[in-house]
Amino acid sequence: MSRPSTLSDAKLVQRCRTGDADAWNELVERYSRYVYAICVRGFRLSDDDAEDVFQDVFTRAFTRLETLRDDSALKPWLAQLTRRRCLDAVSSQSREQTADDSLVDEESADMEEIEEAFALREAVAGLSETCQEILDRFFAQDQSYRTISDELDIPAGTIASRIARCLVKLRDELEGRNEAAGGSRE
Amino acid sequence: MTPSYDEERLGELLRTLRPAPEAWVQAAKELPFARRTIDAIVERAEADLAFRAALIADLESALTREGYEPDGRVVTEIRARLVDR
């Protein structure tokens, strides 16, 4: 798991516009999971359709970055691009199959979950690199204790307790963020 | 209202954003390079009618002969741009 930079989205967009390849790589790293989740979790696209949408979204993002009016609105812009392309894919499927009326409701609930997960990921970035790696490998990549132990050179018998400690730290990080957000509103 | 997070909920949310397949991510990162390649090929096709004719006759073979990797997306976009012009 690559460690994201602390560059804001607006700065990242500005650097991408200058042709900075590292900034573009960072943008793809920062949003690849988000776009992927919208495709496969939000819209239940097949792998083939999800791949088409995924590549098309980043192609459009790259070629239309100039048209983004508010550089800090990168995330909602990408979400909108992805949802539109997913809807195109779903409607072309629906012409071949019976349309699933429940999809829209499910998609809306899943989008909320994806947004919450993205916010959580930002909190994860506040943890130590080891905690980030352990949590990501265990939960997002479904790696076993043995694999995590081998890859990170950590005793296998300590993985479970490390996960538990990292989750406590994550909860503290979230509470700290929520308190700060609450304080800043007062 | 501040959401409460127990271990189970945190685990669910961490599972929500799974990594996209590495090949997809890599292809997306290579877009700037692919874009430059496409632009260069299309510009050359505009200036060199023999090259343009070869591309239209058999795009993949013409690209390979010229030393370009005939990647699926590059091919699709070049084909579309040749038709547009």
**Domain presence at residue B83:** yes
Is any Cβ of chain A less than 8 angstroms from the Cβ of B2?
yes
Q: What's the CA gap between A93 and A104, in Å, rounded?
A: 15
Which structural domain range is residue B73 located in?
41-85
Chain A residues with CB under 8 Å of B16 CB are 37, 41, 113-114, 116-117
Residue A33 near residue B25, CB atoms below 8 Å: no
CA distance A136 to A1: 7
Determine which of A77-91, A155-169, B8-22, B36-50 has the lowest per-residue pLDDT on average. B36-50
Q: Which value does ipTM take for this structure?
A: 0.84
Q: What is the 3-state secondary structure (H, E, C) of B31-80?
A: HHHHHHHHHHHHHHHHHCHHHHHHHHHCHHHHHHHCCCCCCHHHHHHHHH
Mean pLDDT calculated for residue range A128-156: 96
Checking phi first, is residue B4 left (phi over 0); if not, alpha (psi -120 to 50) or beta?
A: beta
In a domain, B52, yes or no: yes
Nearest 5°: the CA angle A125, B31, A17 is 70
Query: Helix, strand or coil for residue A70?
Result: coil
In contact, B9 and B52? CB cutoff 8 Å: no
> Per-residue pLDDT for A4 more than 90?
no
Task: Report CA B29 to chain centroid distance, whole Å.
Answer: 9
- The answer to whether position B23 is within a domain reads no
Which of helix, strand or coil describes residue B20?
coil
Question: Is B15 a domain residue?
Answer: no
| Inter-chain contacts counted by CB atoms under 8 A, chains A and B | 86
Residue B61 lies in a domain: yes
Q: Would the CB atoms of B11 and A136 count as touching at under 8 Å?
A: no
Say if residue A186's pLDDT is above 50. Answer: no
Whether residue B18 is contained in a domain is answered as: no
Give the residue from A36, A46, A112, A124 with the most B CB atoms within 10 Å of its CB, the best one to mutate: A36
pLDDT band at A47 (very low <50, low <70, confident <90, very high): very high
Quote the pLDDT of residue A176.
81
Residues 6 or more apart from B12 whose CB is under 8 A from it? none
pTM: 0.82
Q: Is residue B8 part of a domain?
A: no
Q: What distance in Å separates the CA atoms of residue A152 and residue A155, rounded to the nearest whole number?
A: 9
Which residue segments constitute the domains of chain A, with CATH numbers given?
1-104 (1.10.1740.10), 126-186 (1.10.10)
Q: Residue A102: its pLDDT value, please? A: 59
User: In terms of C-beta density within 10 A (0-12 exposed, 13-18 middle, 19 or more buried), how is residue A77 classed?
Assistant: buried
Closest approach of A33 to chain B, Cα-based (Å): 5
Q: Do B24 and A36 touch (CB under 8 A)?
A: yes
Whether B12 is covered by a domain: the verdict is: no
| Euclidean distance between the first and the last CA atom of chain A, given in angstroms as a whole number | 36
Q: Which residues of B touch A135 (CB under 8 A)?
A: 14
Name every chain A residue with its beta carbon within 8 A of the beta carbon of B32.
19, 21, 24, 62
Report CB contact under 8 Å: A25, B13.
no
Tokens found for residue A106: 């499910």
Per-residue model confidence as pLDDT tens digits over B17-51: 999 999 999 999 998 888 888 888 999 999 999 99
Q: What integer pLDDT is reported at residue B69 of this predicted model?
A: 77
Per the structure, how many domains does chain B have? Answer: 1
